[in-house]
Structure 1
Amino acid sequence: MLETSARLLKLLSLLQSPRDWSGTALAEQLGVGVRTVRRDVEKLRNLGYPVDAVPGVAGYRLGAGAALPPLLLDDDEAVAVAIGLRAAATGSVAGIEESSVRALTKLEKVLPSRLRHRVRLLQSVAVTPTFGAAVSPDVVMAVATACRDHQRLRFDYRSHDGTSTVRTTEPHRLVHTGRRWYLVAWDLDRDDWRTFRLDRLEPRIPTGPRFTPREAPDLASTTRGVAWGGYRHQARFVLQAPAAVIADRIAPTIGSVEAIDDTSCLFTTGANNLDELLLHVGLLGIGFRIESPQELIDHIPVLMARLSAATTPAEPTGSPTE
């Protein structure tokens, strides 16, 4: 006969299968009497598991409760959940990326080594389409774990111009914009909050000592860092449209919009090349004026000449000579 604790775990596992169990069937599976099954069911209820009585068959099923109780997963189920969470963490479903990383961090921490190997094997041969810079799942997991455990994180970081530096940080949280992953962290060397792209980051393991979390920056400052802080060029435009109209058309992760008056607003954004900045604002279809930088203003004739050249008729090729 199983010990009480082991019997309760097996009973819970049986009840989590999608079927109704009679008391007799559960007793046979557990090798005990029906009366013991009733006592064990009551123990599960006292632990917070909503075990419902099934009328007519003198049986039981696991119902939905007000709180989420722990789940028991077999090997195949655990692997399936881990792979699903990894897929969700890539941003395929908007809004659940960070939650998926947190759940995956908890799950992988308790997975036996044989299951972690299966998950990584399947991940290595599966192809997931990406629409932004690719980030290794191991990097996401390492950074997420450091954020959760409040441990200092040192990493090699490559800036947009290719310069490599070693950064020492107190990691705060991960941010996903739909295209890229970012780390918001307190940079100990610069004594300020910084935003880092995960695809340019290589953690140094093991992590450092634990730290007491600082008061986090507000969402606006985090958004500013993600929107343009990490790009080669930052620009400010005065747009001839109300701020509310522009804010509906531009995501916060692209840039910030501040009202100037009822008919105009200030738009701040960034990009790695000047053409992209000019074309992005030009395609809004509204009047605008460049406030900064001067190099963007100087680049306008270059872009105009290139676009104008595209309308010039091609020279005739002529007929081949005999």
Structure 2
Amino acid sequence: MSTRKQMPGRLLRLLSLLQSRREWSGRELAERLGVTERTVRRDVDRLRSLDYPVTGTTGTAGGYRLGPGTTLPPLVLDDDEAIAVALGLVGAAGGGVSGIAESSMRALAKLEQVLPARLRGQLATVSSAAESVPRPGIPQVDPGVLAVLARCCRNHEIVAFDYQSRAGAASRRRVEPHQLLTLTWRWYLLAFDPSRDDWRIFRVDRIDEVTPVLHRFTPRVLPAPDAATYLVESFASAQYRHRVRLSVRLPAHVVAETFDGVVRGSVDPAGPDACVVRFSADTPSLVLSQVVPIVALGAEFAVEEASPEVAALIADVGERLKRSFGDAAASAGPGSG
């Protein structure tokens, strides 16, 4: 039996709220809906009569939550949310999640089929005009692993998993998951590791054998304004084996704006028209990829310090470029073109 057509608007709004968060207090729901807590209790009873598994507890810490049921309840989306989901599905097709492209397109087709007529045209436009090109070489993430980690982040549940470090060392970790983030097409888990008594960032493609421990934890205060800031600052401050330090005759903000994505180091002012840039990475080629945008700016710069492998690579690439372009200029001859 279809229940959605029988629901008044307030019941649909209540169902939408219950779907958006793990647990709500009666007072919070009443404030959101603009009704009394008694009305909330009555509406919850109506949802239960329609076979929605809404559970509740009494007392000062009591609240309501939508539990798992035998049937899938209608997903209530407003207009902006529906278009946002469509755009997300298009973008997911080009992301680093294994097998997600086909699933995303199937979900997009289903979403278009059930949308009201006023939104169907907008969604059709998005579907036909937008396409995400997969980025080669990006490690693929198991969608099942992402789903478990996301649930544990939302529910504040401790999670255990096998992890392979950057150096290839394997370990079993037990952490308090805080948030999943994507950066430069890679997925990361920000979590607090009690055994290290510190925050840690895990590459999700290196996570395996995920097991929710089913123990709740109280979320800790992150030592940053938000998770995204913490992630970017962690990359910037990390010290890797290969490094370089440059002095650049340009303002720091001009140099910083040239980087699309993560700067694996820092850009610090050295006066109004100069800055000092430091990079470090796992490989000399990654350091070089950060130096190239600096060179492309055309400003004067000097290499003040570099690890031996980085210095050798920069010198070799510079010599080969000089030789190649010199040969090209010579073969073109004067007055060519």
Normalising by structure 1, report the TM-score. 0.55
- Offset of residue 290 of structure 1: 4.2
- Residue matched to 1:199: 205
Query: Residue 48 and residue 170 in structure 1: after superposition, are their counterparts in 2 closer, same or farther (change >3 A)?
Result: closer
3-state SS of the aligned residue for 2:145?
A: helix
Q: Answer yes or no: is 1:129 the counterpart of 2:134.
A: yes
Query: Residue 168 and residue 82 in structure 1: after superposition, are their counterparts in 2 closer, same or farther (change >3 A)?
Result: same
- Offset of residue 235 of structure 1: 4.5
Query: Residue 261 and residue 208 in structure 1: after superposition, are their counterparts in 2 closer, same or farther (change >3 A)?
Result: farther
Which of 207, 222, 226 is equivalent to 2:231? 222
Which of 263, 276, 279 is equivalent to 2:273? 263
Q: Matched residues in 2 for 1:297 and 1:135: separation?
A: 35
Q: Answer yes or no: is 1:184 the counterpart of 2:198.
A: no
Which of 295, 300, 303 is equivalent to 1:289? 303
Q: Answer yes or no: is 1:141 the counterpart of 2:143.
A: no
Which of 170, 174, 179 is equivalent to 1:168? 174
Give CA-to-partner distance per residue, 1:101-144, whole Å, 9 cap, x none: xxx9xxxxxxxxxxxxxxxxxxxxxx982453221211221111
- Residue matched to 2:256: 247
Q: Answer yes or no: is 1:238 the counterpart of 2:247.
A: yes
- Offset of residue 243 of structure 1: 0.9
3-state SS of the aligned residue for 2:294?
A: coil
Q: Percent identity among equivalent residues?
A: 30
Q: Matched residues in 2 for 1:277 and 1:205: separation?
A: 36
Letter matched to residue 134 of structure 2: P
5+ residue gaps, structure 1? 13-42, 50-66, 75-80, 93-103, 105-126, 314-322
- Residue matched to 2:335: none
Q: Which runs of 4+ in 1 moved over 6 A?
A: 81-84
The answer to whether the Cα contact below 8 Å between 1:153 and 1:203 also exists between their aligned partners in 2 is: no
The answer to whether the Cα contact below 8 Å between 1:156 and 1:165 also exists between their aligned partners in 2 is: yes
Normalising by structure 2, report the TM-score. 0.52
- Offset of residue 145 of structure 1: 1.3
The answer to whether the Cα contact below 8 Å between 1:86 and 1:137 also exists between their aligned partners in 2 is: no
Which piece of structure 1 moves more, 127-136 or 195-204?
127-136
Q: Matched residues in 1 for 2:324 and 2:169: separation?
A: 36
Query: Residue 138 and residue 163 in structure 1: after superposition, are their counterparts in 2 closer, same or farther (change >3 A)?
Result: same
The answer to whether the Cα contact below 8 Å between 2:184 and 2:261 also exists between their aligned partners in 1 is: no
Letter matched to residue 129 of structure 1: P
Query: Residue 189 and residue 273 in structure 1: after superposition, are their counterparts in 2 closer, same or farther (change >3 A)?
Result: same
Q: Matched residues in 2 for 1:203 and 1:84: separation?
A: 31
- Offset of residue 171 of structure 1: 1.4
3-state SS of the aligned residue for 2:162?
A: strand
Q: CA RMSD in A?
A: 4.3
The answer to whether the Cα contact below 8 Å between 2:158 and 2:174 also exists between their aligned partners in 1 is: yes
The answer to whether the Cα contact below 8 Å between 1:157 and 1:165 also exists between their aligned partners in 2 is: yes
- Residue matched to 2:6: 11
3-state SS of the aligned residue for 1:284?
A: helix
Give CA-to-partner distance per residue, 1:257-298, whole Å, 9 cap, x none: 222221222334443320331243134324242445454335
Query: Residue 310 and residue 166 in structure 1: after superposition, are their counterparts in 2 closer, same or farther (change >3 A)?
Result: farther
Q: Matched residues in 1 for 2:91 and 2:169: separation?
A: 32
Which of 255, 276, 282 is equivalent to 1:272? 282
3-state SS of the aligned residue for 1:205?
A: strand
The answer to whether the Cα contact below 8 Å between 2:191 and 2:201 also exists between their aligned partners in 1 is: yes
- Residue matched to 2:74: 72
Which piece of structure 1 moves more, 214-223 or 295-304?
295-304
Letter matched to residue 145 of structure 2: V
Q: Mark the structure with the bigger radius of gyration.
A: 1
- Offset of residue 87 of structure 1: 5.0
Letter matched to residue 245 of structure 1: V
- Offset of residue 204 of structure 1: 2.5
Query: Residue 291 and residue 283 in structure 1: after superposition, are their counterparts in 2 closer, same or farther (change >3 A)?
Result: same
The answer to whether the Cα contact below 8 Å between 1:242 and 1:259 also exists between their aligned partners in 2 is: yes
Aligned length: 225
5+ residue gaps, structure 2? 15-31, 34-46, 48-72, 77-83, 96-106, 108-131, 328-337
Q: Matched residues in 2 for 1:72 and 1:261: separation?
A: 59
Give CA-to-partner distance per residue, 1:214-269, whole Å, 9 cap, x none: 11131544213345749664544333311110122114523442222212223344
